[in-house]
Amino acid sequence: MFSKIATPIIAIIVFLALWELIVWANGWPNFKMASPSDLPPAFWKYKELFLEMGWQTLWRTVVGLIIAVIVGTGIGMIIGFSKVARDALYPLLIGFNAIPKATLVPVISLLFIGQHDFNTILMAFMISFFPIAVSVGIGLSTLEPEYRDILRALGASRYTIFVKIALPKTLPEFFGALKVSATLAFIGTNLVEIVSPHGRGLGALFKSGETNGDYPLMFAVLIALAFLGIILYYGVVFLERIFAGWAEREAS
C-alpha cells in the first residue's frame, strides 16, 4: 500500500526536478519557459480564480463524461448485439472520431450562441464517448455463444443473459475505456473554454495568461488541469475496484 502511494509521488518529484534543471541549464527566463519554482507564486496570486475556474472546468467535464457513459454504453449495446447495426454504425463512428474536434468548436459555438455551459459539456461528451461505445460493443460482440446457448436452454431471458454473462464480461473493457475517456473529456472542455470569447474555466484562465504574457500563470493552469485529470482518473479506478475488482490481476 505504501509503495502505491510513494511511487507516483517520487515520480512526480523527479519530473519536476528535471523540469527545473532543464530551465536552469538553458537559462530560460520565465517569459520564455516557466519553471516549477515559478508556479507556487502564480497559484497563490490567482488562488481564488483557480478555485472558481477549476470548479467550472471540473463540473462541466464530469457532466459531459456522464452523458458519454450513458450514450456510449447505449450505442455499444446496439452494435454489440446486432451485426446489422454494427456494420451500419461503425463507419459513422470511425468517421466522426477522425474529425479533429477543434474544428467543431466554431460550428457548435455558432449553432448554440451564448450557451457556454451547454457547448462545453457537448464538446466534452463528443470527444469522450467513442472509446466507451467501441469497448462495450467489442465486449458484447465477442461474448462466447456457448454461454448464451446454455442459459437459453435453461429458460433464461435476454435480460438474465445480459446481467449474468454479458455485463460482467464487458466491465473490464468498459472501465479501461472510461479511464481514457476521463482524460479526453478535459480536452473537449478546454477547447471550448479557450476559444469562446466569453469562456469560463481553466481554459479561459490559460487564454488570459497567454494574452497578458503571463507564462507562470499559463503553466500553473496546465498543472491544475493535470491535477484534475489525475483526480478524475483515480475516481474511475476507485469505481473499477468496486464493480470490477474481480478482474484485476497482480503484476508479476
Give the mean pLDDT of 24-29: 90
How many whole angstroms separate alpha carbon 17 and alpha carbon 20? 5
Which pLDDT does position 106 carry in this prediction? 84
pLDDT of residue 105: 85
Alpha-carbon gap, residue 223 to 219, rounded angstroms: 6
SS3 category, 248: coil
Q: How far apart are the first and last CA of the chain?
A: 16
Q: Which cell numbers in the block locate residue 182?
A: 476521463
**Does residue 197 surpass a pLDDT of 90?**
no
Structure confidence at residue 158 (pLDDT): 67
pLDDT of residue 196: 76
- Per-residue pLDDT reduced to its tens digit, 61-118: 999 999 999 999 999 888 888 889 889 998 999 999 898 888 888 888 778 877 888 9
For the chain, give the longest Cα–Cα distance: 74
Residue type, 92: L
Distance of CA 178 to the CA centre of its chain: 7
In the numeric block, which cell numbers belong to residue 131?
472509446
d(CA 148, CA 140): 11
- Give the per-residue pLDDT at 251: 53
Average pLDDT over residues 15-43: 91
Give percent above pLDDT 90 in the chain: 46
- CA neighbor of 68 nearest in space, from 91, 100, 99, 93: 93
pLDDT band at 166 (very low <50, low <70, confident <90, very high): confident
* Count of beta carbons in the 10 Å neighbourhood of residue 205: 28
Average pLDDT, the chain: 86
The amino acid occupying position 202 is L
Residue 217 pLDDT: 93
Percent of the chain with pLDDT strictly greater than 70: 90
pLDDT at 151 > cutoff 80: no
Contact 207, 199 (CB under 8 A): yes
Which pLDDT value is given to residue 130?
Answer: 93
Q: What is the pLDDT of residue 139?
A: 81
Predicted confidence band at 1 (pLDDT cuts at 50, 70, 90)? Answer: low
Encode burial over 121-140: b for 16+ CB neighbours within 10 A, e otherwise: bbbbbbbbbbbbbbbbbbbb
Most confident range, picked from 122-126, 163-167, 199-203: 122-126
Averaged over 137-148, what is the pLDDT?
Answer: 76
